[in-house]
């Protein structure tokens, strides 16, 4: 059996090819590691963005609730003032014209009695 010997040029080319293949393999492994790190950083950034969005929405809801509460308190105060004014006017009218007020109360009572009979 004859074994073919490689020329020095062929042996050098094989060595260069092996080095290139090894370098390419290392390059791919490094690229994969870099991609894994970048994906992890992207996931962390998305988490931070989600937290920020949640905080922003929570703050906006809190501000809206405060505004609604303020408006409700203002409306309650207005209604209360209106009721107090009406009470004062009725009290004054009864004091000025007690007989008229008594007659009106009797008439309203009579109407309620008629309505409740039916």
Q: DSSP letters along 67-110, please?
A: HHHHHHHHHHHHHHHHHHHHHHHHHHHHHH-HHHHHHHHHHHHH
Q: Dig out the tokens for 8 from the structure.
A: 């020095």
pLDDT value at residue 25? 74
pLDDT per residue of the chain (118 residues) written in tens, 0 to 9: 444 577 777 777 777 777 777 777 777 777 788 888 888 888 888 888 888 888 888 888 999 899 999 999 999 999 999 999 999 998 998 899 999 988 999 999 999 999 998 7
* Cβ partners under 8 Å of residue 14, min gap 6: 6
Q: How far apart are CA 18 and CA 74, in angstroms?
A: 84
The verdict on pTM exceeding 0.85 is no
Q: Taking CA 3 as the corner, what is the angle to CA 2 and CA 7, rounded to the nearest 5 degrees?
A: 135
pLDDT value at residue 29? 79
pLDDT value at residue 28? 76
pLDDT value at residue 16? 74
Q: Dig out the tokens for 65 from the structure.
A: 């609730």
Q: Where are the domains of the chain?
A: 10-117
Q: Dig out the tokens for 114 from the structure.
A: 């008629």
Q: Dig out the tokens for 56 from the structure.
A: 């922003």
């Amino acid at each position: 059996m004859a074994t073919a010997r490689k020329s020095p040029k062929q042996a050098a080319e094989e060595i260069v090819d092996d080095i290139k293949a090894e370098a390419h393999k290392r390059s791919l492994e490094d690229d994969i590691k870099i991609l894994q790190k970048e994906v992890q950083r992207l996931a962390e950034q998305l988490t931070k963005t989600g937290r920020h969005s949640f905080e922003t929405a929570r703050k906006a809801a809190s501000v809206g609730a405060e505004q609604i509460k303020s408006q409700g308190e203002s409306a309650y105060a207005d209604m209360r003032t209106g009721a107090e004014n009406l009470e004062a006017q009725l009290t004054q009218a009864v004091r000025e014209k007690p007989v008229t007020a008594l007659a009106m109360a009797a008439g309203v009572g009579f109407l309620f009695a008629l309505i409740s009979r039916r």
